[in-house]
């Protein structure tokens, strides 16, 4: 990856993390998950997972990134992760997906907050303090000045990191994750798109 491409990817990740996974949850923010219906230079139309269609205006400075597979076995102490999880019957938390952030973005969006991947899910961004392999892999994340949360990661959990992508990846049928803002008139706009490419889809 050349330096220019790396900076574009890091810029996309940073803006995504602050607006989409960060602690500031704007009242008009909306996460759109679905597949591309059509793409024009300033308009992305998405068929959402609920079955309706959303037209998203892309701002002049919009950026795009893809995702690449990562391995849960490579997660180690000191890594910075974003994990969507749900509570388990035993009182613990089980991961729905894991995003491994580049070292340069450690600390971005740190905290624990409600998420909408599944009902009653939460997103936790934190630093790995401990990794255990008893009855499956689990990590303990630290965040917000010493708070901790232990999350088990089932073997089939999607684990990804961010990767380069281009607007040409926004082909009909491609899977996307978009953090958008809804205006008072109901229109959606966004400065960032995460697209599935090279056979990997955004699990967020």
Same-domain pairing of 171 and 156: no
Same-domain pairing of 60 and 138: no
Same-domain pairing of 80 and 140: yes
Q: How far apart are CA 160 and CA 140, in angstroms?
A: 18
Walk along the chain (204 residues) and give the pLDDT tens digit of each residue.
443 444 444 444 544 544 444 433 444 789 999 999 999 989 999 999 999 999 999 999 999 999 999 999 999 999 999 999 999 887 789 999 999 998 888 998 899 999 999 999 999 999 999 999 866 789 999 999 899 999 999 989 999 999 999 999 999 999 999 999 999 999 999 999 999 998 999 999
Q: Is residue 87 part of a domain?
A: yes
- The upper half-sphere exposure of residue 144, i.e. CA atoms within 13 Å in the direction of its Cβ, equals 11
Closest by Cα among 13, 158, 17 to 95: 158
Q: Is residue 132 part of a domain?
A: yes
Q: Is residue 11 part of a domain?
A: yes
Same-domain pairing of 133 and 156: yes
Only one residue has tokens 């798109």, namely 193
Residue 16: its pLDDT value, please? 52
Cα 55–Cα 119–Cα 112 angle in degrees, nearest 5? 95
Same-domain pairing of 51 and 9: yes
Q: How many CB atoms lie within 10 A of CB 161?
A: 17
Instruction: Please provide the DSSP assignment of 35-102 as one string.
Output: EEEEEETTEEEEEETTS-EEEEEEEEEEEEEEEEE--GGG--TT-EEEEEEEE-TTS-EEEEEEEEPP
Residue 134: its pLDDT value, please? 64
Q: Is residue 204 part of a domain?
A: no
Q: Is residue 203 part of a domain?
A: no
Q: Is residue 128 part of a domain?
A: yes
Number of domains composing the chain: 2
Same-domain pairing of 92 and 140: yes
Residue 145: its pLDDT value, please? 86
Same-domain pairing of 85 and 140: yes
Give the length of the chain: 204
Q: Is residue 189 part of a domain?
A: yes
Give the end-to-end CA distance of the chain in Å, rounded to a whole number: 24
Residues forming beta bridges with residue 151, ordered by sequence position: 93, 139
Element (H, E) at 199: none
Only one residue has tokens 């990817």, namely 9
Same-domain pairing of 150 and 81: yes
Q: Is residue 169 part of a domain?
A: yes
Exposed, middle or buried, 2 (CB in 10 Å: 0-12/13-18/19+)?
Answer: exposed
The three state secondary structure string of 16-44 is: HHHHHCCCCCCCCEEEEEEEEEEEECCEE
Same-domain pairing of 154 and 171: no
Same-domain pairing of 185 and 156: no
Identify the domain containing residue 126 by its residue range: 73-160
Same-domain pairing of 142 and 94: yes
């Amino acid at each position: 990856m050349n330096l220019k491409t790396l900076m574009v990817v890091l810029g996309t990740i940073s803006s995504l993390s602050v607006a989409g996974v960060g602690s500031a949850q704007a009242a008009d923010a909306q996460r759109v998950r679905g597949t591309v219906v059509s793409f024009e230079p300033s308009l992305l139309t998405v068929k959402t997972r609920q079955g309706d269609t959303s037209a998203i205006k892309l701002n002049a400075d919009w950026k795009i990134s893809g995702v690449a597979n990562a391995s849960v076995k490579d997660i180690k102490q000191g890594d910075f992760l974003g994990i969507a999880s749900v509570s388990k019957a035993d009182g613990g938390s089980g991961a729905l997906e894991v995003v491994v952030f580049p070292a340069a973005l450690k600390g971005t969006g740190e905290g624990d907050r409600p998420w909408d991947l599944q009902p009653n899910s939460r997103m936790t961004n934190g630093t790995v303090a401990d990794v255990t392999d008893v009855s499956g892999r689990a990590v303990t994340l630290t965040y917000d000045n010493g708070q901790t949360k232990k999350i088990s990661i089932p073997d089939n959990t999607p684990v990804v990191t961010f990767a380069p992508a281009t607007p040409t990846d926004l082909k009909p049928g491609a899977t996307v994750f978009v953090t958008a803002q809804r205006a008072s008139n109901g229109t959606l706009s966004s400065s960032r798109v995460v697209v599935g490419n090279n056979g990997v889809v955004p699990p967020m």
